[in-house]
Structure 1
Amino acid sequence: MVAAATLLTATTLLTPPAAAAGKLPYSDQCTFPNGLYPGRPWSLQRVMLDELWSRSTGEGVRVAVIDTGVDVKNRQLTDAVDVKAGRNLLPRNLKDDNGDPIERGKENGTTDTVGHGTKVAGIIAARPTSGTGFVGLAPEATIIPIQQNDAEGHGDTASLAAAIRHAVQAEAGVINISQDTSNAVKPDPDLEQAVKEALAQKIVVVASAGNDGDGGNVKETYPASYDGVLAVAASDRNNERASFSQSGDFVDVAAPGVDMISTVPQGGHCSDNGTSFSAPYVAGVAALIKARHPDWTARQIVARIEQTAERTIAGHDRLVGWGVVDPVRALTEDDHPIESPNPREGLTQAEAPTPGKFSLGETPDERNARLATYVAVGAAVLAAGLGGTAVAIRDARRRARRVAGAE
């Protein structure tokens, strides 16, 4: 029996009257469209973006987003999406549970009534724009929109396999799959075969680990559990596993997945939670590495991401895999390719990366001169204090001798 490929994150649609997203105030309630998120999301604050982008911006790398479609009406995605390469693989003549027809959407995969795929695409490659600090990790990568699922879960393992094969034909360098099969059922072997075909073309396949981790639940999910797939769990602001994130030996790394800001259909931003949004964070890092090292294999890119992840124990664990992804380390500690991570290298205290601090009006030379002055003054004060103490002791002895003589 073929298990349906169900979405990891449900989204409630509350669509207000049509309005330009730039004129709407940002709302915590996820509406389409919505206003622009005014600041820099925490998942980007932890990354020194200027240093990251000095190494790579993902230019030339094509990332297939196999999801609910990608809405190009959001201005941060308009220029990020290869519309011609997109595809809608949903069945024709769709109907809801009441038997009413469902709009299938455009054939090029640029219809997204759920918002899930549009959020995923934004985390990977949203272009910078005025009025918001949100931007994709790989802001010059190109998105291939492949609409394969919807709110009713019409996508199945057959359409997922077809979507992977279309991504290969469309010359994707990275494939993001933010969904898994129902009830962790091992799907039809054709899906695994499609994954193998993608890996054989040096394509990095990234998949979300799943959101059934409450209570320590451990189980394999697919396609994340297939060999060669980079399985991504969700981490929180403390670089720890998010409570909902699926655990298991198949988990390779973790990435931010709590309160994730990203693009929504028709314009603006929204916040959501789930490993669905951790996976594209890692897919964005993979795109950056692939642009910088186009000759590296998929395994070498994955190994570099694993090796440079922040972790507190040597080796791998089933909560966050090799640790929480560190984009800057992945792009700076990349002098040579590796085939697998070394458990003893890169061990840290797993503190979340923080942006560089500003120097407020003082250069390093000025700071050194100031410290030297403090040391000199401190030495003089100490010498004066010791000298004063010696004088006081000498005077006290003289007074004592005079008193003794008088007696």
Structure 2
Amino acid sequence: MKSLISLSILCIALLMHPPHTIHLKDSSCNTLSAEITPYVNGEVILKLKCSIMEDLLSEILSTHSLMKICRVDALENVYKVNLPDGVDPVEISKRWEENPFVEWAEPNYIYRIDTKPNDKAFSLQWALSRICAPDAWSIETGDPDVTIAVIDTGIDYDHPDLESNIWTNPREDLDGIDNDGNGYVDDIHGWDFVENDNDPFDDNGHGTHCAGIIGAVGNNEIGISGLCWRCKIMPIKCFNSLGYGDALNISRGIRYAVDNGADVISMSWGSTIPSNLIRDAIEEAHERGVILVAAAGNYNSTMKVYPAAYKDVIAVAATDKNDKRANFSEYGYWIDVSAPGVDIYSTLPNDNYGYGKGTSMACPFVASLAALIKSKYKDATNEQVESIINSAVDRVNSRVYIGTGRINASKALRLYPTTAKIYSPCAGDVVRGDIIAIIGTAERNYTLSYGKG
């Protein structure tokens, strides 16, 4: 989804580099958003300096007649006050603390656990902490009913850190018959469009690496943790052992994902040459409610890379450990958002693990975040999920545009699904003048940020 105002047979390379606004502090993983208060609405807890008759307490505090005061059991001189609608717990606590009879008063603050997994190599996964994944996991770790299709070089579906999260076709049996009538015989775990068979095993490593970022099993005491601990990963092999695939097979892979129930499609590949065939498949997928995410490319330029540059796709640039633009990442008005893409530790074929870098690694972080949001909000539309991802971000350190910011999973899971659209100007339009008309719609309150560009 483009968000900034301002092949016959085509070979497409993988994009792995060679061997509404919410008001939070940037990079803050433990701060609640403006949409969720850090305390129980309508409640204040206070402690008196000495015992007092309860019937005198209302008079001393000059409370409203609609307030309800209750002594807190087992705590000496501590009371809970239920406030009427419209009374701010913070402000009235400050006022009551000025009372000579009150030792302290405060809102009934909310605390939550910070969920860190026990995966042995979690400490090597700097990116998960950077995007506030441990805090996000206290809210949502993924729903097995949500499926992310990985269109890539295949996946090592037997990898011990992936196998329990690999999608299984519920309508197919391994019996040489196309039980579900989808045109693919025995497609138990997806399809290999390169060899046209039912074994989408990874003979390159790229697809398995992306799959681990998305959905390596979390908290299983081995290896790493994906951002989605429990969502299902659908292996769709459209790229050969050298990392190349053609537009025909890719378009078939996209349609296979859609027809077989994928909620999200992750595409860590691209070309500077647009394909009508792939574009049509992308448009159909988006119309059917699928969330599409793609790597922006590794040319260190503003050159558009497809499918990321299509309007229905979330284009993902790459950042490093310091939230700077990775020196290889694409940039420009057509980028939607950025995510970590340097020194990313993930799964590799044959039960291995290793590091990778590229917008190929940034893309699956965004795809898995989309799946987490979809897990929490089952009825959210693809446009609502896209809006959340693009809104719930932290600032990046970049002199060029790499989207609205670097994703923050914790913020994203604290936003309610809504949609804001700008119809005019369109992405890439050049506008001049002291007054610029901006036409759009929003379901809730939104802040529109703009600047010279």
Whether TM-score is above 0.5 comes out as: yes
Q: Residue 46 of structure 1: CA displacement?
A: 2.1
Q: Residue 74 of structure 1: CA displacement?
A: 1.4
1:161 equivalent among 251, 254, 263: 251
In structure 2, how many angstroms separate the alpha carbons of the residues matched to 1:273 and 1:265?
17
Distance 1:331 1:340, change over 3 A: farther
Identity of aligned residues (%): 34
In structure 2, how many angstroms separate the alpha carbons of the residues matched to 1:256 and 1:270?
16
1:62 equivalent among 123, 143, 147: 147
Which of structures 1 and 2 has the bigger CA Rg? 1
Q: Secondary structure at the match of 1:137?
A: coil
In structure 1, how many angstroms separate the alpha carbons of the residues matched to 2:274 and 2:150?
22
2:190 equivalent among 81, 86, 97: 86
User: Is the contact between residue 16 and residue 361 of structure 2 (CA under 8 Å) also seen in structure 1?
Assistant: no
Map 1:139-158 → 2, pairs under 5 A: 139-158=229-248
Deviations 1:144-184 (A, max 9, x none): 00000023344111111111000001100000000002xx1
In structure 2, how many angstroms separate the alpha carbons of the residues matched to 1:345 and 1:40?
37
Aligned to 2:159: 74
Q: Residue 51 of structure 1: CA displacement?
A: 2.9
Q: Residue 220 of structure 1: CA displacement?
A: 0.6
Map 1:5-404 → 2, pairs under 5 A: 5-9=12-16, 37=121, 39-59=123-143, 60-83=145-168, 84-91=188-195, 107-109=198-200, 111-128=201-218, 132=222, 134-181=224-271, 184-187=272-275, 189-213=276-300, 217-311=301-395, 319-332=401-414, 334-340=415-421, 344=447
Distance 1:68 1:312, change over 3 A: closer
User: Is the contact between residue 124 and residue 345 of structure 2 (CA under 8 Å) also seen in structure 1?
Assistant: no
Query: What is the count of residue pairs matched by the alignment?
Result: 302
- The TM-score with structure 1 as length reference comes to 0.69
User: Is the contact between residue 192 and residue 198 of structure 2 (CA under 8 Å) also seen in structure 1?
Assistant: yes
Deviations 1:327-384 (A, max 9, x none): 110111x13412349984799xxxxxxxxxxxxxxxxxxxxxxxxxxxxxxxxxxxxx
Q: Residue 306 of structure 1: CA displacement?
A: 0.5
Output the amino acid matched with 1:127: V
Output the amino acid matched with 1:335: Y
In structure 2, how many angstroms separate the alpha carbons of the residues matched to 1:10 and 1:236?
13
In structure 2, how many angstroms separate the alpha carbons of the residues matched to 1:9 and 1:273?
6
In structure 2, how many angstroms separate the alpha carbons of the residues matched to 1:346 and 1:335?
20
The answer for unaligned runs of 5 or more in structure 2 is 1-6, 20-119, 169-187, 423-444
Q: Which has the higher helix share?
A: 1
Deviations 1:244-288 (A, max 9, x none): 001122110000000001011111310010000100000010000
User: Is the contact between residue 108 and residue 145 of structure 1 (CA under 8 Å) also seen in structure 2?
Assistant: no
User: Is the contact between residue 189 and residue 198 of structure 2 (CA under 8 Å) also seen in structure 1?
Assistant: no
